[in-house]
Amino acid sequence: MKKTEKMEVTPEERELIEAVRNYNSSYPNGHPRLLLYAQELFDNMITQ
């Protein structure tokens, strides 16, 4: 069983988490665009 933890996140952080989860759910047949989308969100967050 996975351990869960509650944490406050911004809407942008939530979108990144959901993008990563969607990519992981689709692996190994995931669409490459899902990975690119998650990477784009991450890059935008660290350059703010």
Domains of the chain by residue range: 11-46
Global confidence as pTM = 0.80
Is-contact 9 17, C-beta < 8 A?
Answer: yes
Give the tens place of pLDDT for each residue, 3-26.
889 999 999 999 999 999 999 998
User: 8 — phi, psi (to 5°)?
Assistant: -85, 135
Phi, psi of 10 (to 5 degrees): -80, 165
- Distance, in Å, from the CA atom of 43 to the CA atom of 5, rounded to the nearest integer, reads 25
* DSSP three-state, residue 33: helix
Percent of the chain clearing pLDDT 70 (strictly above) = 98
